[in-house]
Structure 1
């Protein structure tokens, strides 16, 4: 079968691969859709970031070359002998996070984690083998296309939970990429009264408005971002989310958050940044970070999305085939700000 395989930085190949043998606790998924994530882009541009290259990953025992794809959905094609909760024909969403599962669910990711599609062959292929521990049932009539957005939605749900957001509170989101736009929708669902999104791209701000933002600020068109936010939220934000991944927006997030409010860092910063602890203390702001999601959060996300309470489909901007992975997938994500989430239709893999 053809798959998108990472061999190294600037070296992702669409090539023929064999599906690895099915383990006893795994199912074979016939992949329907797979999303291209910013993590995939980082692995292409400057990897390896998370992909193991010098020795096998301790949780998956796999190493490069790796089939990419950690945002995907599909239909169960075959089941291993120890699988009892899933059967052929079931529709499933995939939680790609692999953890030791030795600590409570809400913190076990911090004992160490890996990802299907980064440390183990993933879903940018017509078929993928996945442990039942990483699978979630979907209603048979639910869109498999929307189900491929479950993973980034879970990232946003976890981040909002970290902020302890309550009904009627106010939010500022720095960055209107896929996670930032998804955060606007999750914050809306959680009952935020004002949701301000800041970005440099007008087309991305338009998407944020579509996803739930009540107010947007184009940072390229105002003199002072903090002052512009203060005009909307004179008392500051109850919670700010840093999703841009740069020093300036990190500092701004602290500055616009009210005392005892939360700044939640969701970005994976490519380089270390400076933290002025005096600024944080003088502002009375609480700083939190959020990486991935708990298993409970992923199930809650599945429930919210499949019940229609959380909208994910507006995030999808393009659908392509696997052979167009570079031309219509990676390259537009690098150059075209109108692209938020590009899905690869694996049912049409040629």
Structure 2
């Protein structure tokens, strides 16, 4: 409150909701490639108008980047919302709108997959089975990876198993995580690991269980400082990569859902 966002000009309170879908009820002047009645999802960025969203541009890293529903501009809990054409992505009208609303966080998982450089046949370790961890795992499975997911919550473990997004669901309070992962990978370690919890103990285990020259991707947003075994990173030549949001990933993510 009292601190307007530099781009939207709005300050709290605002209407929340950055993960949403909708039905087009009107189009602006010059818009001829989207029709009234069409189902769409919104890539909910608030980014300055002069920032290019062309292929290869890192517009998601631009100054003062924020999200509709967090920094203003309406929000998915509005009855109606007006957005610029470049943020609107058509989807098949066969996709239920409540499912389509999850394309936004699914795109987060898709971008994390792209950042990792992982490929079909790799073994991935996902630390955390919350919404992002589960959706990321579904992308990895769709791309032909073997997925090991670690989680403590009974409900989240149940969801991971029932949805089929993970080949192995391990609870570190019930099994020896290192022993199990090494058994699965023939003592090599995983090719790629994804941190989806902002819990230091999880990050430590991912660094330990990723094979030499492997990749650790930090997906969660940390609100506190973290520690990492730099010695392990150096001696194993690990790549530690961050990822935020998505950047021209909606089209591929939507295709996954439609297929």
TM-score, normalised to structure 2, is 0.91
From 147, 155, 158, the equivalent of 1:203 is: 155
| Cα drift, residue 269 of structure 1 | 1.0
CA distance in 2, matches of 1:228, 1:272: 29
Give the match for residue 10 of structure 2. Answer: 62
Give the match for residue 321 of structure 1. Answer: none
Instruction: Say whether residues 1:252 and 2:200 are aligned partners.
Output: no
From 279, 292, 307, the equivalent of 2:232 is: 279
CA distance in 2, matches of 1:304, 1:147: 12
Structure 2 unaligned residues grouped into runs of 5+: none
From 10, 13, 19, the equivalent of 1:71 is: 19
Q: Is the 8 A contact 1:258 1:284 kept in 2?
A: no
Count residues with an aligned counterpart: 252
CA distance in 1, matches of 2:127, 2:244: 17
Q: What are the Cα deviations for residues 154-210 of structure 1, in whole angstroms up to 9, with x where unaligned?
A: 000010111111111101000000111112111111111x21100101321221222
Q: Is the 8 A contact 1:98 1:114 kept in 2?
A: yes
Write 1 or 2 for the structure with the bigger share of strand.
1
| Cα drift, residue 220 of structure 1 | 2.1
Moved more, 138-147 or 148-157: 138-147
Give the match for residue 254 of structure 2. Answer: 302
Equivalent positions of 1:1-350 (< 5 A) are 53-100=1-48, 101-102=51-52, 105-112=56-63, 113-120=65-72, 121-192=74-145, 194-209=146-161, 210-222=163-175, 224-233=176-185, 234-295=187-248, 297-307=249-259
Q: Which runs of at least 4 in structure 1 moved beyond 6 Å after TM superposition?
A: none
CA distance in 1, matches of 2:152, 2:158: 11
| Cα drift, residue 82 of structure 1 | 4.2
> Counterpart of 2:107 in 1: which secondary structure?
helix
CA distance in 1, matches of 2:236, 2:179: 16
> What RMSD in Å do the two structures reach over aligned CA positions?
1.7
